Amino acid sequence: MTDGRLIQSRYQLLDLIGRGGMGEVWRARDESLGRHVAVKCLKPVGPQHDEAFTRVLRERFRREARVAAALQHRGVTVVHDFGESDGVLYLVMELLEGRNLSQLLEDNKQHPLPVAEVVDIAEQVADALGYTHRQGIVHRDLKPANIMRLDDGAVKLCDFGIARLGHDIGFTSRLTGTGIAMGTPHYMSPEQISGGEVDHRSDLYSLGCVLYEIATGVPPFDMEDSWSVLVGHRDTVPEPPRTHRAELPRFFDEVVLELLAKTPDERPADAGDLRQRIALGRTGEQPQAAQARPVPPVPVAPPGAGEPGLPSWTRDMTTGHKAVGAGASATAAVEHATAFTAAWTTGTGQALAGGLTPEGSGG
């Protein structure tokens, strides 16, 4: 795509604000309505990819458009239009002015965000997730780069490219039956890693990983080796966030540890319950704390020993980019899995696209 191009005689591409392995995002002008928007374009797939992969990729892009357009909430990016122009699929979204959480951590020189900001972000994300989950939609790739903090303080969820509609299991299985990994290792739930049944509580686990990182400066399992990260999610009890940062509120510490429970039943029941607990904690009203259930240690077999619960695709998986630190670059398989959420580089460094989050080095 080039600047100045007019898509469907309506969207004038102005400047490139994000680029990834599978597409681009542009700041554009909607000539019909006289407003600026973000246009996300899926680049034509080259001959190195087979027809099955191309079909899955294009179907996921269409899926993102359908899922995002059906969501109407202040905490979810607004989608205006979707179509195809000269063989290029495009998605038109609101243009968000702000930074994603990965970029905010970079802006803060790799230090955690202020406590009050962390708690506010936690409450707003819980509110948005509560809404999407009530619509039967599981995000499945929640990470710092997919959460935007706007200039006015509002928080928005982005990138529903691999979201799962709860009532659309057949469609989902067709998309995930290609052996393409779903998600980003530092933020994947144990059941997602093991290929088990995924529901809204998987998003809650991923949110726990995100909150842990923006509150402490490191992910809960901060290893460069992808296998160690995956096994950590499955087997290792994370250190309480307050061991890294004593100023964090005790209620926040407890909430994050519950979100990071190994089994879904041990996590908060839903995002609405989570939001209420955070809101009460912010006002100083402590809800009755649930009795902590000890998690017995699980022996960890060495890599390559055929650990149960880790499918074969994890063996070649890299850690991808975390929000802070020097994460390894994603392999082609992971880039394919996160086709719309892989590492995007900013063009102008100003406006960010609504449904696609240019990440700098994060995500």
**Token representation of residue 273:** 């319950």
Residue 46: pLDDT band (50, 70, 90) is low
Decide: helix, strand or coil at residue 6: strand
Residue 361 lies in a domain: no
In sequence order, what E strands does 113-231 have? Answer: 137-138, 147-150, 155-157, 164-165
Structural domain tally of the chain? 1
Question: What distance in Å separates the CA atoms of residue 331 and residue 99, rounded to the nearest whole number?
Answer: 25
pLDDT at position 283, please? 83
| Mean pLDDT along residues 282-290 | 59
* CATH classification at residue 109: 1.10.510.10
Mean pLDDT to the nearest integer, 222-227 = 85
Domain of 348, in residue numbers: 6-353
Mean of pLDDT values over 237-263 = 97
What pLDDT, on the 0 to 100 scale, is given for residue 171? 34
Separation between Cα atoms, residue 30 and residue 11, nearest integer Å: 5
d(CA 192, CA 195): 5
* Contact by Cβ (8 Å): 258, 268: yes
> Tens digits of per-residue pLDDT, 251-265?
999 999 999 999 999
Top pLDDT among 352 and 285 is at: 285
> What does the alpha-carbon distance between residue 175 and residue 218 come to, in Å, rounded to a whole number?
32
Q: Residue 362 domain-assigned?
A: no
Domain-located, residue 359: no
pLDDT tens for each residue of 55-66 = 877 887 888 788
What percentage of the chain carries pLDDT values higher than 70?
68
Least confident range of 111-115, 157-161, 162-166, 179-183: 179-183
Is the Cβ–Cβ distance between 253 and 239 less than 8 Å? no
Cα–Cα nearest to 245, from 150, 113, 143: 113
Band (310; pLDDT cuts 50, 70, 90): low
Specify the pLDDT at position 183.
64
Confirm whether 360 is domain-assigned: no
E strands present in 46-87? 79-85
Which of 151-155, 169-173, 194-198 shows the lowest per-residue confidence on average (mean pLDDT)? 169-173
Least trusted range by pLDDT, from 222-231, 234-243, 301-310: 301-310
For residues 308 and 147, which has the higher predicted lDDT (pLDDT)?
147
Please give the structure tokens belonging to residue 359. 């990440």
| pLDDT of 361 above 50 | no
Which has more pLDDT, 224 or 10?
10
Q: How many other C-beta atoms are found inside a 10 Å radius of the C-beta of residue 50?
A: 11
Mean pLDDT of the 79-85 span:
91
- Model pLDDT, residue 261: 97
The pLDDT score that the predictor gives to residue 55 is: 80
pLDDT at 336: 30
- The catalytic residue positions are 141
Q: Where is 187: in which H helix or E strand?
A: none
- Residue 98's Cβ-side half-sphere holds a number of Cα atoms within 13 Å equal to 24
> At 335, which amino acid appears?
E
Q: What is the DSSP string of 95-120?
A: EEEEEEHHHHHHHTTTPPPPHHHHHH
* Structure-model confidence comparison of residues 275 and 63, the more confident one: 275
If you ran DSSP here, which 8-state letter would residue 321 be given?
-
Element (H, E) at 38: strand 35-42
Q: Would 286 be classed as within a structural domain?
A: yes
**Structure confidence at residue 59 (pLDDT):** 83
Lowest mean pLDDT among 19-28, 173-182, 195-204, 337-346: 337-346
Burial of 305 (0-12, 13-18, 19+ CB in 10 A): exposed
> What is the average pLDDT value for the chain, to the nearest integer?
77
Q: Does 158 fall in a domain? A: yes
In this structure, is residue 205 part of a structural domain? yes
Question: Domain for residue 307, yes or no?
Answer: yes
- How many other C-beta atoms can be found within 10 angstroms of the C-beta atom of residue 81? 18
**pLDDT by residue (tens digit) across 328-339?**
333 333 333 333
Residue 305: pLDDT over 70: no
Exposure b/e, 108-131, CB count within 10 A at least 16 = b:
eeeebbeeebbbbbbbbbbbbbbb
Residue 166 pLDDT > 70: no
What is the predicted pLDDT for the residue at 354?
47
Radius of gyration of the chain (CA): 20
